[in-house]
Structure 1
Amino acid sequence: MKAYYASTALLIGTMTLASAQTPGPDSLTRSLDDTLQLNEVIVRGYATNRRLLETPASIGLLGRRDLNQRFGIPTLVPALNTLPGVRADERSPGSYRLAIRGSAIRSPFGVRNVKTYWNEIPLTDAGGNTPLNALDVRALGRLEVIKGPSGSLYGAGTGGTLLFSGLSVPSGKTSVELSGLAGSYGLYGNGVSVQTGRENSALSVSYNHLQSDGYRDHSALVRDNFSLTSSFAVSPKRTISVLGLYSDLHYETPGGLNENQYRANPRASRPATATLPGSAQQQAGIYQKFGLLGVAQEYRWTDRIQNTTVLYGSTTDFANPFITNYEKRADLGLGGRTITQFRLPDGPIPTTFTVGGEFLRNFTVDRNFGNRQGVPDTIQTDEELTARQLTLFAQAEMKLPAQFRLTAGLSRNNVSYGFTRFPVQATNAIPAQLLTRTFDPVWLPRVALLRTFCQRLSAFVSISTGYSAPSSQEVRPSAGGFNTTLDPERGASYEVGLRGSTRDGRLRVDLALYQLGLRQTIVRRSNAAGAEFFVNAGRTDQRGLEGQFSYDLFQPGLAATTHSFVTLGRLWTSLTLTDYSFRDYQQGNADLSNNRIPGVAPVTVVAGFDFESRPGLYAHLTYQYLNPFPLNDAGTVQSDPTRLLQATLGYRRIWAQRWTADLYVSGDNLLNQVYSLGYDINAVGNRYYNASPARNALAGLRLGLKW
C-alpha cells in the first residue's frame, strides 16, 4: 500500500462530506449504543467524555447490538473483527489472541501488548497479560477500542486499549432475562441476568454458562462466568461502585497441524511424532479460574473538580498440561488507579486538566512438572515472579479559537521484575538466587489537534509514543529460564483522521491513516519441542489505512417516529489496508529486512447488512475477506485467503411493555470454507494450521420481564 493512495482516499472523503455540509437541523437523536452514530455517541477514551466526532483519536465502538445480537455465538471474536484495524483469533474454542494494528506478532497465545479496563478497573495485570477469555459477552453492554499507542494516559503498550462497560441499568426499573442456546458440535449455553435501578443505586448481576464439544478432535470447552456491578450514591458528591468477576474455564488445545495434515483431515488434533506424543494423548489444555473484586469511588468536590479512584485485587489458578510438560501457576494481583479532572471553562482558553496514576503488582508462583498423559509427575522447575508497573500521567485538553481542540498528554512509566528459581533436586543443586530486571523509566508524550468544520465533519492529526516492556510470559517463557536481555519495544505513531456524515445522517465515514515505527520489536521463536521464547527483531515499519463506512437506506430517526414497517436498514463495511515490514532484521545468517511481518493481512474487508422491523423481525448478514499473508518471518509460507459468511435471523416480541421474547437462529461459515481463524506464527515443524469449524448453526431464545 502506498501512502499516495491513502492520502488520496482521505482527500476524496473530505471533499465528498464537505460538499454535503449545508446548514440545517440535526436529525433526531438515535440510540447511544449505535456503533456508527458519530454525532451523538459519547466516548470515554482519553478521559474526554465527548462526542466521537470531537475526539482526536481512532476509536472503534461496539454496542449491545454488535456484541449480543449480530452474531449468535456468544463470544467477543466475531464482533471485534468487524472493527477496522482489529483482528481477534480463536485457534480453538476459548483460546483467544487479539491484534490491534498488528500487536499480536509477539503473542503465541493470550492477549498481550493491549491494556484493558472494565469501568476504570484494570483487567490487564502488572505482567502485561489480559484474561480476555474470562469475560462473557452476554454480560457486556459496550466496548471502546482505542487503536495505537495510548501510553500518555493508559501506560505501557504499543497496541491499543480496550474499555469495557457492563449492562446498562435503567433508573426505577427492574428486569430479569433468561437465555438459552444450542447448536452444532455440541454447543450449549444458558444464562440469567438481573438488573435493578433505584433513585440512588443500581445493581446488575449475571451468570452465564457455555460449553462445546468442538469441531476438532480434543477441542472441547466449558466456561462458567459470574459478574456483578453495582453503584450507590452515598451523598450528592460521592458515588461508590463495586465490580466482581469470577470465571471458571477449561478448554482443550488440539495443537497446530502442518499443511499435509491440515489438507488431509482439518478436524484432527496434533498427532504424535517419533519423539513426542500427541495433544490428545497428553490431555493438552487450559484450566483457568480467575477472580477479580474492585471498588471505585467517584467524588465531585465542585462542578469543575472531580476524582475517580479504584482499588482491586485478583487471583488466578492456572494449569496447562502441554506436550512436553505440565505447568501449574498461582497468581495474586492488586492495584489501583486514580484520576482527577479540573475543568476551567471560563478562561480565555477553556481547558480541562487530567492528572493521575496507576499502580499494578502481581506475585506469581510457577511450577513445571513432567506430563504423564495429563497427570503431573516429577517436578522440573519451581519459580516465583514479581511484576510491578507504575504510571503517572497528566493531560490538558484546550478549546482553541476557530473550532480547534488541542490535547497534550505525558506519562512516566516504570516496569520491573523479580525472579527466583528454587532448587528441585537434593544433590548438586544450585542455590536459589533473586534475579531482577528493572527497565529504565520512560516518558511518553502525545499531542493531538482536532478541527470541527460543522456539526457533522471533523479531522484530526496526532503524534503519540509507544513503549511496551516484555510481558511476564516473555521474560519467563515456556522454554524456561529468566530472560535478562530482552529489551522493551519503543516507537512513535503519526496519524491523521477524518470523520463525518451527510446532512441527513444516512452516510457516515470514519477514516484513519497512520504510520507506526517500532524499535526493538519483540517477536516469538520456538524450540524443537514447541516451547516458545522471545527475541528483539530490530526495527519494523507499520503503515495502514482504516476505513469504516455505513449507509442507512432510510433516514435515521424518521422510522422511529412513523408507522414504517422497517426501523433499520443499513449497509456497512470496514476496510483495513496494511503495509507492515521488518527493517534491519537479521536472523542467523539470513537478512530478513524488508520482509512482510507475518500474521497481518495486507487487505481485510468486512461488510454487512443490518435489518430491523417494527413487528420485531430482524436480520444481520456479515461477510469477511482476508487476503493471504505470511506465516513466518522468512515469508516462505502463505496463509489461505479467508472468505467467511455469517447470518442471524430473529424475531423479538414485546407484550404489555413488560414481557419480551427473542427467538433467533444463526449460521456461521455458510460458504463451508476450510479456513483457520488463528494460525501459529513461526511454528516449528511447519505446524501453522488450526482449522475452524465447517458450516454450522445454532438457535437461541431470550425471555425477559421488566417492571
Structure 2
Amino acid sequence: MHQRSILLISSLLLPLLFVAAQEPLPKGDDSTFLLNEVVVNAHQTNLRWHHLPGNISVLAGTEVQRGDGNSFASILHALPGIYMHSGTYATNRIVIRGMGSRTPYNTNRIKAYLNDIPITSSDGISSPEDIDLDGIGRIEIIKGPASALYGSGLGGNINLSTPAPLRSSFTARLQVGSFNTAKASAGGSYVRDDLKISGNVGHIRSDGFRENNRLRRTSLLSSGRLEKSAHTLEYTLLLLEMDAAIPSSIGKTLFETDPGAAAPNWKAIEGFKRYGRGVAGISLENRLGEGWVNRLTTFGRWTESYEKRPFNNLTDGTYGGGVRDRLSFHAERYDILVGLEWISDTYRWRVDREEAIINRNSETRYHLNFFTMIHLRPSPKWNISLGGAVNRIRYRLKDRFPDNGDQGGERTFPLTVSPRIGINYAPDSKVALYASVGHGFSMPSPEETLLPEGSINRGLKPEQGWQYEAGIRLNLLHGTTQIDATLYRIDLHNLIVTKRLTDEIFTGINAGRSRHRGIELLWRQQVFYRGHFPGSLNINSSCTFSQNRFVDFTDDGNIYDGNQLPGIPSHLFQTYFDWKPLEPLHLGVRFQYTGKQFINDANSVTADGYQLTDAKVGYLLPITTSGRVELHAGVNNATGTHYASMLTVNAVAAGNAEPRYYYPGAPRHFYIGTIWNF
C-alpha cells in the first residue's frame, strides 16, 4: 500500500467533513468523567460500570487524547495493572497483569478489537498503538484470562471504539516538537437524520532523539452508521502505512554514556521496517422482535512488512478475514447471549541474507470460537454472569523453500473450554462488591510453533491459566469520589517461553508454571468545581503492586523456581491533575513512578525504578459562534530523567559484547500546537 492511496481516500472523505462545519459545537466538555454513569460493552451486553461482575477499565472522551496525543503508553498507564514498554514508535510491548512480559519485541497474549473487529494478526501480534489516538473515542480493557467472549488472550482484551458523533463537526490539528517531530491531522463527523459518518486522517513524522530513529506514519480511520427502526448498518475502515528506522536496543555502557546512540550493527546497515496495514468490516444489527437482537460482522484484514536487519532480512505479511455473529435476548431479570467467531488467516514469511533465500514458509490458521454468556438479575442489587467458550484451532504449514526437505504439515489442537463466572452485589449506588473466576489460553506464535530446524513443534501445548479476582467499587460524596480496588491471582500452566537461540532464531517451549498476584487501585476525585476562579480540579490516580513468580521453571538445566518474571515493574503509580482555573485555560500534569524490574530469568540483572513528569497547558479561543481554536504547549519528561522505556529481556550477548537489554527513554522534550474545532 502506498501513501498516495490513503491520501486519495482522504480526499474523498474530507469534503464530507467540511460540510459538517455548519453546526455549532456544544458548550462545555467531558473532562469530568463520572464512572458510575459509564456504560460498558466489554461483556457484549450494555451494563453500567457500577454493576459489572468483574474488573473492566475504561478510558473515554478527553482521557484518550491527553498529553501530546502520540503516546499510547502514557494513556494506558493511567489504568492499573497495565504496563507498556515503548522502545520506539514502532517497537512496543504491552503487559497486562504480568502476561506477555517475555515476548521480545511486540505484544502477544493479548487480543485487540476495533469496533468489534479482531485486529490481532494471525501471528498473534497486537499493535493497537499503531492507531492514531485522534481517531479513538473509547478504550475498554478486560484484564487477565477473564473473558469467555473473545477467544484466546491470557493477558486480556483491548477493545477500541471510534467516536460516536452527536452532531456534525470538523477538527484539524497541527503540532510540532523536539527531534523534528511534526503531526498533522484532520477529521470530523457528518450527522444527518439516520446517517452518521466520522473519520480521521493523520500523518506524523519524527527524527527521534536516537541515531537511526526516524518515523513516517500516515493513517486513515473512518466509521459510519445508518440506523433504521428494525436494523442498523455500520462500517469500519482502517488504512495505515509506516516507515520506521530501527535503532534497536543497546548495552549498559552505551545506555549510561551515550543513550542517543543506535546499536552499532543496526546503524551500520541503516536498519528499518516498512509496514502497511488494512482492516475493513461491515456489521448488520437486526432487531428481530421484542428483546431479540442479532449482530453479524464480516471483516477482512491484511498486512505487508519488510524489515532490513543486520543478520538477515524479513519479508512477511498476512491476509484473511472472518465472521463474528452474536444473538442476544434482553429481559427485565436476565440477558442471554450466544455467538461464534470464525477467523481464517494466512501468515507468510521469507528470510534472506545477501539476496539468498534462507527459508520461505506460510502458515494458515483456522480459529473457531463458540461463546455464550448469561446475566442474571434476581434483584436490583445482584448481577450474576455465567459464561463459557469452546475453541477449536488448526494450523497448516507450507514449506515454500524445500531445499532442506519439505517440513510442512498440519496440527489440530484439542478443543479448549474456557468457563467464567462473575458476581456483583450493589446494595446501593455508593458501594458495589464483585468477584469473578475465569479461564483463558494463548496459542503459540508461528515462530514458537516451529523447531529451530524449521519443522513443526508438535509437542508444544497452548498456555492456559485461571484467574481469581475480587474487588470493591465506591461512589462517594455525591459522585465526586470514585474508587475501584481489586485483588487478583492468576495461575498459569504449560507456560510458553519464547526461547531465543541466536539474534535470528527463536522457538517456543513449555517451561512449567507461574503465578501472578497483585493489588490494583483506581481513584478519581473531583476536588472542586466552580464557575469562577479557581475553577475545577480533578485528580485521577492509579496504583499497581504485583508479584509475578515462576513456580516451576527449568531452562537449559537452570532452575528458576521462585524467581520473579522479568520485564514487569514491581509497582507502578500514576496520577494526573486536570485543572481548569478559568473557562478558556486548561492545565494537565502527569506524574508517574515505575518500580524496579528484573531483566533476565535468573534475576541477576535489574533496571532501576524511575520517575517521569509531563505537563501541558492549553488556551481556548472562541472565534465564531460555531467554532473555536485551542492553542497548547507541553513538555514530556520535564525533569530530564534517564531511564529505559523498554527492556529486551533475556538478551543474548554476541561474543564478548554486552547483552543489549536497554531501549533508552526520550530526554526532556517539548511540543506546541493548535487544534481547530468547527
Equivalences for residues 193-342 of structure 1 within 5 A: 193-233=187-227, 235-271=228-264, 278-342=265-329
1:515-564 CA-partner distances (Å, limit 9, x unpaired): 00000112222223354333222000100100011221115xxx4xxx33
Question: 1:32·1:42 contact (CA, 8 Å) conserved in 2?
Answer: no
Number of aligned residues: 647
Matching residue of 2:512: 538
Question: 1:93·1:220 contact (CA, 8 Å) conserved in 2?
Answer: no
Give the counterpart letter for 2:376 in structure 1: M
Counterpart CA distance in 1 for 2:306 and 2:665 is 24
Counterpart CA distance in 1 for 2:220 and 2:460 is 38
Change (3 A) 1:288 1:480: farther
Is 1:408–2:386 an aligned residue pair? yes
Matching residue of 2:3: none
Query: In the TM superposition, what is the alpha-carbon distance from 1:221 to its structure 2 partner?
Result: 0.8
Query: In the TM superposition, what is the alpha-carbon distance from 1:66 to its structure 2 partner?
Result: 1.6
Equivalences for residues 683-702 of structure 1 within 5 A: 683-685=651-653, 686-702=659-675
Question: 2:560·2:602 contact (CA, 8 Å) conserved in 1?
Answer: yes
Change (3 A) 1:495 1:525: same
Question: 1:215·1:692 contact (CA, 8 Å) conserved in 2?
Answer: no
Give the counterpart letter for 1:299 in structure 2: N
SS in 1 for 2:256: helix
1:561-585 CA-partner distances (Å, limit 9, x unpaired): xx33455301231100001100111
Counterpart CA distance in 1 for 2:613 and 2:215 is 24
Change (3 A) 1:610 1:150: same
Give the counterpart letter for 1:693 in structure 2: A
Equivalences for residues 31-430 of structure 1 within 5 A: 37-68=34-65, 70-170=66-166, 173-233=167-227, 235-271=228-264, 278-345=265-332, 350-370=333-353, 372=354, 377-401=355-379, 403-423=381-401, 429-430=403-404
Equivalences for residues 369-518 of structure 1 within 5 A: 369-370=352-353, 372=354, 377-401=355-379, 403-423=381-401, 429-476=403-450, 482-518=456-492
Counterpart CA distance in 1 for 2:114 and 2:377 is 29
Counterpart CA distance in 1 for 2:33 and 2:486 is 15
Question: 1:479·1:533 contact (CA, 8 Å) conserved in 2?
Answer: no
Question: 1:59·1:144 contact (CA, 8 Å) conserved in 2?
Answer: yes
Matching residue of 2:22: none
Give the counterpart letter for 1:397 in structure 2: H
Question: 2:69·2:134 contact (CA, 8 Å) conserved in 1?
Answer: no
SS in 2 for 1:301: strand
Equivalences for residues 544-623 of structure 1 within 5 A: 544-554=518-528, 559=530, 563-623=531-591
Of residues 299-308 and 239-248 in structure 1, the stretch that sits farther from structure 2 once superposed is 299-308
Counterpart CA distance in 2 for 1:326 and 1:402 is 60
Question: 2:123·2:347 contact (CA, 8 Å) conserved in 1?
Answer: no
Matching residue of 1:274: none
Structure 1 gap segments, 5+ residues each: 1-29, 272-277
1:186-245 CA-partner distances (Å, limit 9, x unpaired): 101101102111111100121100011011111111100011101112x31111111111
Give the counterpart letter for 2:676 in structure 1: L
Query: In the TM superposition, what is the alpha-carbon distance from 1:478 to its structure 2 partner?
Result: 9.4
Counterpart CA distance in 2 for 1:146 and 1:152 is 11
Structure 2 gap segments, 5+ residues each: 1-26, 654-658
Is 1:663–2:659 an aligned residue pair? no
Give the counterpart letter for 1:225 in structure 2: S
Matching residue of 2:5: none
Change (3 A) 1:480 1:136: farther
Q: TM-score, normalised by structure 1?
A: 0.88
Change (3 A) 1:483 1:433: closer
1:389-414 CA-partner distances (Å, limit 9, x unpaired): 11001111000237121100011011
Matching residue of 1:631: 599
Question: 1:412·1:443 contact (CA, 8 Å) conserved in 2?
Answer: yes
Question: 1:539·1:584 contact (CA, 8 Å) conserved in 2?
Answer: yes
Identity of aligned residues (%): 24
Query: In the TM superposition, what is the alpha-carbon distance from 1:476 to its structure 2 partner?
Result: 4.8
Counterpart CA distance in 1 for 2:28 and 2:292 is 29
Q: TM-score, normalised by structure 2?
A: 0.92
SS in 1 for 2:583: coil
Query: In the TM superposition, what is the alpha-carbon distance from 1:282 to its structure 2 partner?
Result: 2.4
SS in 1 for 2:289: coil
Matching residue of 1:674: 642
Counterpart CA distance in 2 for 1:499 and 1:32 is 25
Query: In the TM superposition, what is the alpha-carbon distance from 1:34 to its structure 2 partner?
Result: 5.9
SS in 1 for 2:137: strand
Root-mean-square deviation over aligned CA pairs: 1.9
Counterpart CA distance in 1 for 2:561 and 2:31 is 43
Change (3 A) 1:327 1:156: same
Change (3 A) 1:63 1:228: same
Counterpart CA distance in 2 for 1:567 and 1:143 is 28
Question: 1:39·1:456 contact (CA, 8 Å) conserved in 2?
Answer: no
Query: In the TM superposition, what is the alpha-carbon distance from 1:322 to its structure 2 partner?
Result: 1.5
Counterpart CA distance in 1 for 2:293 and 2:76 is 33
1:45-85 CA-partner distances (Å, limit 9, x unpaired): 112311111111211111121221x2114232210111100
Query: In the TM superposition, what is the alpha-carbon distance from 1:495 to its structure 2 partner?
Result: 0.5
Query: In the TM superposition, what is the alpha-carbon distance from 1:148 to its structure 2 partner?
Result: 1.3
Give the counterpart letter for 2:342 in structure 1: F
Question: 1:622·1:645 contact (CA, 8 Å) conserved in 2?
Answer: yes
Query: In the TM superposition, what is the alpha-carbon distance from 1:636 to its structure 2 partner?
Result: 0.2
Query: In the TM superposition, what is the alpha-carbon distance from 1:336 to its structure 2 partner?
Result: 1.5
Change (3 A) 1:607 1:479: farther
Query: In the TM superposition, what is the alpha-carbon distance from 1:285 to its structure 2 partner?
Result: 2.1
Question: 2:121·2:318 contact (CA, 8 Å) conserved in 1?
Answer: no
Give the counterpart letter for 1:38 in structure 2: L
